[in-house]
Every structure is written in C-alpha cells, then in structure tokens.
Amino acid sequence: MNNDARIGARRGFLKSACRHCLGAGAMLGLPAIAEQLMPGQPLPPRFARPSAETDERGLWSMMDREEVRVRRSPLAVHDTALNAYLADLSCRLGDGHCRDIRVHVVRMPLFNAMMAPNGMMLVWSGLLLRVENEAQLAAVLGHEMGHYLERHQVEQLRTAKDRAVLAQLVGLLGGVAGAIGQIGITASMFSFSREHEMRADRLGMRLMRDAGYDGRQAAVVWDNLLTEMKVTGGEQEGKQNAMFATHPPTAHRRDDLLELAGTGGGKTGDTEYRKAIAPLRFGWIQDEIKRGQYEESLVLFNRLLARDTADGEVLYARGEVHRLREEGDDGALALDDLQRASRTGKPPAETFRSLGMVHRTRGDARAAAEAFETYLSLAPAAPDAGMVKSYLAQARP
C-alpha cells in the first residue's frame, strides 16, 4: 500500500470511529468504573482488550500501531537502565495493571507526559530534567495513570463535539516528531475537564501514597513549573507549555494537592532518581539550552543550583545561557559560572569551549587559547573541533 493509500485508510477509520464514538459509552461502562475509584475503593481489574465490534477496539489497534512508530522514532530514548527504572516505578504505582502499562521516554525538551487508552505512556525528557526526585516523578506518572484507570481519554473522545479531536489525539500521542506542532490545536480541542483533572489528581495522590511516597511533592511539581512559565507568560503562564495543553493549571491546584497529601510523610527518593537519570542528564541540559527560551531556562538552572551549588553541568549550562543571551551583565555572569564549573570535579568539556568564546569576546587571547586547548584535549573528536582549532590559531600569538 502506498503512502497516499495508507493516509486514505487512516482517515477513513478516523471518520468511521468518530461517527460512532458518541454511542460507545453504554458499552464502556465509564460511570461505573469512575465510581470504583473513589478513595477507599479497590482499583478496577486489568482492562480486557475491547471486543472487535466496538469503536474502542479500533482506537486501541491504532494506538498499538502508533506505539510501534514511537519505538522506532529517532527521538525515542533506548536506555536499558532508565527504561527498567521507569517500568519498575510504574509497576509499583499501577499494582495489578503493571503488565499493561508501558512507559516510553521521548527526547523532547519540554515538560510533558501523556497516556493512551491502550496503556502506552509517553514521558518527555524535559519532564525528567525538571522533576527533582522519585516522588515528584511518581506524582506525574500517578496522575496520568489516574486518567487511564478512569478511562478519561476514551470518555473525552466519546463526548467530544469536534470529531477531529480523535485525529489530534493520535497525532499527539503517536506522531512524536510532529507533537510540538500539535500543541496549540490540542490545547483547545482536547483539554481534560476540571472534573477529570481533579479526579486524576485524587487518584494519582492515592497511588503515590500507597506506594510510600511523600504526597506533598505533587504540589512542588506544579509550583516549580508555574514559576518557570511565569517568567515569560505572566498572567498567561503555561499557555505555550505542552503539559498545560492537556492539563490546564488552576489557581488553587497547589492548595488542592496539599490538602490531598495531608500531613505528608513518606520517601522522596532523591538519590535513586539522580542515579537513574545521571547518564542522560547532560544531553537533556544541552537540549534545554538549544530551546532558546533563556529566561525560562535560567529559572530552571537557578533552581537546580539552589539544590547543589557545585553542580558542574548546571553551572556550565547557566553560564552558556548568559553567554548566548548577551544582555546587560551576561558576559560577566557567564565568565563567573564557567570558571566555577571548570573548577568542579568533572566539568563538561563544553565548559572550556564556552570559556574560550567568552575570553575571545573580551579580547583576552591568552586565556582564550588556554581554554580552547583544554577543550580539544578533552574532546579531540568533537564535531566542532575544526572550528575551535581555527579560533585557537587566531588566539595564539
């Protein structure tokens, strides 16, 4: 089948599914499931694959195919240790649904997570860079599982007035490469209702607390993210953020989560989380710098450095953002951060390239040459080695 034929078949299925989705509620039994998930009630048993005559079966089949595309995507993170860590965490949260939940990490520098009705969950690397510990990650995963366990995705599709919402859901969940381009459309077409969000928060809190985590960390996640968004969004904070496209913030969300958490208590898993992401973290930091949203990045990097003032990777990152932004005192701030990073135990090689660039801009040829030489000794096969050698030749007397 050629590409045009595949597209035609795909559109045909979408049109057919949407014509019937309003009548699917009676077969799905959604209200009954929702009632089962109130506090103190047992979680529902594993969901059986929908029967062939239902529209939900078509949706599941489509998501299965999209999941294959996600696995093959160049943006998929195929790190065995990280994937095992996330699978274990989802199992501890999802209990009897463990075998049906599959977490995929996608290398995208924004805070986002989403889940499909067939049990596929996508977690973006920007989220993993921003959460500070295992409890905060459990809060986000638990919230997504809350939507899944209460069948909110299917219910939203069933009640959507605009039938194109199904196509947009498929594009957002499975079409990873085009997901960012879909965010604006999805924000207006597929936002969960306030009731859905409240129920997912409630159930997510139950899942993370049952797994032994400090529920108060859920409120910290939203506080941190909103602070980052406010620096550029003001009163419209978060409108351009992927997570808020389908999970709109509310003024009282933090307070609601703290009330759900109660007196708190439980583990946070700081050490375990840092160990799990350590091999991939610097690549995600570089992705964040390349985003070019310098004010937001500085809020993030300042927060990370407040936790560890000697973090060489983040000192480099903050210095590099100042160097690239070039506003006000950015030159001096960049030099200070990069010099501090260079004195840490194991600074990234890129620290010395950036130091060389700062010294070069300031007219200090000797310091620039020394920094460039250090960079080339640490990363002789770097893609930009040729360019740096030319800078080095210019800097040498």
Asked if residue 29 and residue 135 are part of one domain, the reply reads yes
Considering Cα of 13, then 14, then 15, then 21, what sign does the dihedral take? positive
Asked if residue 207 and residue 286 are part of one domain, the reply reads no
Asked if residue 343 and residue 256 are part of one domain, the reply reads no
Asked if residue 52 and residue 15 are part of one domain, the reply reads yes
Asked if residue 313 and residue 177 are part of one domain, the reply reads no
DSSP structural state of residue 104: E
Asked if residue 92 and residue 14 are part of one domain, the reply reads yes
Q: Is the separation of the CB atoms in 152 and 160 below 8 Å?
A: no
CATH number of the domain bearing residue 332: 1.25.40.10
Give tens-digit pLDDT for 267-284.
Answer: 999 999 999 999 999 999
Q: Of 335, 332, 338, whose CA–CA distance to 317 is shortest?
A: 338
Give tens-digit pLDDT for 79-91.
Answer: 999 999 999 999 9
In a domain, 268, yes or no: no
In a domain, 336, yes or no: yes
Asked if residue 148 and residue 55 are part of one domain, the reply reads yes
- In a 3-state reduction of DSSP, which class is residue 396? coil
Pairing of β 113-115 and β 120-124? antiparallel
Per-residue confidence (pLDDT) for residue 158, from 0 to 100:
58
Domain span at 300: 281-395
What is the token pair recorded at 267? 């583990």
Asked if residue 379 and residue 230 are part of one domain, the reply reads no
> Where does a domain end: 261, 295, 327?
261
In a domain, 250, yes or no: yes
In a domain, 88, yes or no: yes
For 31, 80, 118, 225, 293, the CA distances from 299, given in Å and listed in that order, are: 42, 31, 36, 10, 10
Asked if residue 252 and residue 222 are part of one domain, the reply reads yes
- Give the separation between CA 38 and CA 35, rounded to whole angstroms: 6
Asked if residue 144 and residue 99 are part of one domain, the reply reads yes
Q: Is the separation of the CB atoms in 177 and 121 below 8 Å?
A: no
Q: What angle do helix axes 165-173 and 3-20 make, rounded to 10 degrees?
A: 130
What is the token pair recorded at 95? 């209990």
**Stated pTM of the model:** 0.81
Going by pLDDT thresholds of 50, 70 and 90, the confidence category of residue 380 is: very high
45-59, 72-86, 235-249: least confident range:
235-249
Give tens-digit pLDDT for 338-367.
Answer: 999 999 999 999 999 999 999 999 999 999
Is the pLDDT score of 219 beyond 50? yes
Q: How many structural domains comprise the chain? A: 2
Asked if residue 244 and residue 303 are part of one domain, the reply reads no
Asked if residue 255 and residue 287 are part of one domain, the reply reads no
